[in-house]
Amino acid sequence: MRKILHADCDCFYAAVEMRDNPALRDVPLVIGGRAEQRGVVATCNYPARTYGIRSAMSMAHAKRLCPHLHRLSPDFEKYRQASNQVQDIFRELTPLIEPLSLDEAFLDVTHIERMQGSATWMAQWLKQEVQQRVGITISVGVAPNKFLAKIASDWQKPDGLYTITPDQISKFLDQLPITKLHGVGPATAKKLEAQGIHTCRELRTIELATLLDEFGKFGVRLHELARGIDERPVKVERERKSISVETTFDRDLPTMTVCREKITDLVTRLEERIARNQHPAINKLFVKIRFDDFSITTMETAGQAPALESFLPLFDTAWQRAERPVRLLGVGVRLVPEDAQRQLGLF
């Protein structure tokens, strides 16, 4: 049986700023772009959350919810330094670490013998060391697999520690809402709830064959998660699946012609980013558009050459789906999976 930790820094960007300026601890604080420049909330502290403010919310909306909101522009270099400090502490405990972002990671401590092999004691040690050395709090979930560990880390936030032992899995899942299951979005939840299924306990009553009919291969995943089954290992090296660039504009781009002019700059930036990643093998190209009504559309096609003449037809087709002013434009490439690259190398 594995012992997995999921460590998640609490409101990370805001936590670093409050560490450096304690006067910000008790005021509603957001990190993100300016409202007048179409900025969004990257993160916010807990006082701000009491007003209903959340990550990815437009800054203009956040300001309406809390007019006296304190906003700071992100300082990514400072956040990277803090993240590196946290990751260094993780590595003192185990080499089996799967970073998910600057502020969270999975750790496999199955074979760690320190602290009498207690994963809960290891989690307590992590929390203490991060607080003392980095000056921020982390929440840690302890469980036999990644799925449960991630849910556990969120169970008692902020500054939480929650352990799910193997003999507690069934009881824990009985009352767990299906909306907590990874991959269950609004559409899937609505479909399940229409059948009277709101918890994992209720989901376990549905036969696998029925889930396969209703949800295809995702039905297998639902069947497993409802029972706390997750065999995914902690992957020390995460495989990159795509490379992309995008821009949110201060003012909506009014016409197709103006948008096409912006695509040129985006493709140049994309080519530079691909070069920094040692020109990985590409198998698809895509364009992303967010219109002024916040609807999003993407268009992709098979291809290996991320050239301007390849992206423009994709944009034209995507734009014609709504023919509205454009708030955001993005271009990117999908990468050939590493195992497929290795197989190709054999030939």
Residue 62: C-alpha distances to residues 27, 70, 158, 236 (Å):
14, 10, 21, 37
Torsion (CA) 202, 207, 212, 215 in degrees, nearest 10 = -20
DSSP sequence for 21-40: -GGGTTS-EEEE--GGGT-B
Q: At what angle do helices 208-215 and 186-193 cross, to 10 degrees?
A: 130
Residues 6+ apart with CB under 8 A from 5: 106, 107, 109, 119, 122, 123, 126, 140, 141, 142, 149
Considering 17, 98, 104, 129, which one is annotated as catalytic? Answer: 104
Contact 177, 165 (CB under 8 A): no
Chain centroid to CA 10: 14
**Is residue 300 among the annotated active site residues?**
no
Geometric angle at alpha carbon 158, from 154 and 162, rounded to 5°: 50
Instruction: Indicate the pairing of strand 41-44 with strand 97-101.
Output: unpaired
**133: phi then psi, degrees, rounded to nearest 5:** -90, -35
* Active site members: 104
